[in-house]
Amino acid sequence: MKALLAMSECPMLVSATSAHREMPDPPAWDDATLQRYTSGGDSYCCYPTPGAFGSDFGESDLESALARSNRHGRPLALYVHLPFCRKICFYCNRSKVASKLTRQADPYISRLDREMVLARRYLDTGREVKRLYWGGGTPTFLSLDQMSDLVDRLDARFGLSGSRERDYAIEVDPREADVFTLRHLQALGFNRLSLGVQDLDPQVLQGVNRVQPRILTEALIDEADRLGFRSLNLDLIAGLPGQTRDSFAATLEQVIAMAPPRLRVSDYVHQPERVPTQRRIRAEQLPDVAERLAILRTTVAQLTAAGYVYLGLDQFARPEDSLAVAQRHGRLTRDFQGYTDQSADDLLGLGVSAYSRIDDTYSRNPVDLAVYEAALDASHLPVASGLRLTFDDRVRRHAIERLLCDMALDLDALGERFDLDASRYFAKALQRLEAPLHDGLMERQGNRLLVTPLGRLRASHLAHAFDARHSPPPSGPSPSPA
């Protein structure tokens, strides 16, 4: 195995200086306004959103995009979807496969390798793989040998980076990892972790089929800090069955004591008609609108009081974390994994349901494992849908991304970038924003739009004003920071 050197890099936590003075003030709470502007809807990890992808975009379109992307010479980003889980959590809406046997992942790894071979035919493999992300499912379902095998295959096909500046991240289930797992991941080149915790209340976890003692998470956080991983994100979900403002406050208190550099507090969206596993959750078990607002208030209040910056949508970070630093300096961006401080490189998604962003296209692999496997067995790149962006798409994507990342939008700067009169171009969007402006979610200073602290709680609603592809507007009682 070719193990990539992963020496101790910058520690997860460093002392904060003037960064604390740059944090936005907590929002002036207004339940009535927040209920009028429901959150939820699309979080705009891409624009146009996947609902606009068409089945007329196929393998040849992706091949052409891969070839075009070589002209720019940008670094590559790779996303690998590993769908296996030993137990299915009832809330989960991801593409997943339940199995207790790690050897069942071997054929999948072989097909991932086949996908790599097909894709690399069109890529200049001399381009640096600056970013790597393993998501799931449960990537740590794989055995240590399988992880090594997959890294070897990625390195053989694309050439992985040993640079200290690389950003190699993996989602970790604390039930499927220990200190030896983290040491192995570091030896393979991973330098950033995302721990799936969801909640720490035993009754809530039991209700969603995820029994996970707190000590497992604490041990991994301590070991990641000791090993010198660059950063660590901890995932929570608000709005699960059985949660209350008090129970979630207790979870947050314990999480704050663990001091993770980043926290993502996602909103649970109940869609049993689309997600079969969610049918195990009864609607009457879910917190009602008032309780969800109280959970949101608790989350923002506790985390900001503990020194976290609320970046917007679902993300919190310590002021000294690279995400918060990037936002202060206007370098924060978004991709399919959420907020990132890395540049918008060409992203190749590998695996069932994986998304790609190549040159001026978006595409997605089949969500059905059998369809994905059949395409590769026939030596075809497994493209289920996608689109090529128009000029209008690129303008709106930039506007939405800057609004969600900077919590501000400079219309003059956008106009210069695309050589247009932005106020005229976005006349309809600005008209849609009149009510949020009146209600204090935004402010306008000349041609600069500023999202207020209260508006950060409804940032997806504000971004929707710039969506011309008819994505569903933010809807439903989902008042947690997502």
Q: For the chain, give the percent of residues with pLDDT over 70.
A: 91
Ranges of beta strands (E only) in 361-446 are 361-364, 385-388, 408-410, 442-445
pLDDT averaged over every residue in the chain: 90
- Confidence at residue 43, expressed as pLDDT on a 0 to 100 scale: 87
pLDDT reported for residue 104? 94
The arithmetic mean of pLDDT across residues 179-205, rounded, is 97
Within a 10 A sphere around the Cβ of 28, how many other Cβ atoms? 10
| Secondary structure class of 135 (helix, strand, coil) | strand
The domain spans of the chain are 30-48+391-482, 52-347
Question: What phi and psi values does residue 312 have, to the nearest 5 degrees?
Answer: 130, 165
**What is the H or E stretch that residue 225 is in?**
helix 214-227
In whole angstroms, what is the distance from residue 338 CA to residue 419 CA? 29
Report yes or no: 291 and 114 within 8 Å, Cβ to Cβ: no
**Least confident residue range of 53-62, 289-298, 382-391, 402-411:** 289-298
* Annotation: CATH topology of 30-48+391-482: Arc Repressor Mutant, subunit A (1.10.10)
Does residue 471 carry a pLDDT above 60? no
Question: For the ranges 1-5, 368-372, 378-382, which has the lowest average pLDDT?
Answer: 1-5
Residue 27: pLDDT band (50, 70, 90) is low
pLDDT tops 70 at residue 16: no
- 353's CB contacts (< 8 A; 6+ apart) are 81, 83, 94, 95, 364, 365, 366, 367, 372
For 6-150, where are the E strands, in sequence order?
A: 76-82, 84-85, 97-98, 129-136
**Helix, coil or strand: residue 351:** coil
Q: For the whole prediction, is pTM greater than 0.75?
A: yes
- Report CA torsion sign: 112, 117, 119, 124: positive
For the chain, percent helix, then strand, then coil, each to nearest 5? 40, 20, 40
Smallest CA-to-CA distance from 459 within 400, 414, 410 is with: 400
On the question of pLDDT at 102 being above 50, the answer is yes
Residues 345 and 76 sit within 8 Å (Cβ to Cβ): yes
User: Look-up: residue for tokens 């917190």?
Assistant: 287
Q: Residue 166 — very low, low, confident or very high, per pLDDT cuts 50/70/90? A: very high
For strands 315-317 and 309-312, give the pairing: antiparallel
Residue 320 reports pLDDT greater than 60: yes
Count of CB atoms situated within 10 Å of the CB of 239: 25
Give, in words, the CATH class of 52-347: alpha beta
Given this model, what pLDDT does residue 41 score? 62
Q: Answer yes or no: are the C-beta atoms of 445 and 6 closer than 8 Å.
A: no
Question: Do β-strands 448-451 and 442-445 pair in parallel, antiparallel, or remain unpaired?
Answer: antiparallel
> In the structure, what pLDDT confidence band is assigned to residue 13 with cuts at 50, 70 and 90?
very low
How high is the pLDDT of residue 40? 56
Asked if domains 30-48+391-482 and 52-347 share a fold, the reply is no
pLDDT of 367 strictly over 50:
yes
Do residues 37 and 338 make contact, with C-beta atoms less than 8 angstroms apart?
no
Digit-coded pLDDT (tens) for 46-62: 999 999 999 999 999 99
pLDDT tier at 34, thresholds 50, 70, 90: confident
Render pLDDT for 415-433 as a digit per residue (tens, 0 to 9). Answer: 999 999 999 999 999 999 9
Please answer whether residues 175 and 198 qualify as being in contact, where contact means their C-beta atoms are separated by less than 8 angstroms.
no
Q: Which residues, in sequence order, are CB contacts of 237 under 8 Å at separation 6+?
A: 91, 198, 199, 265, 266, 267, 268
Section 281-288 average pLDDT = 95
pLDDT at 26: 58
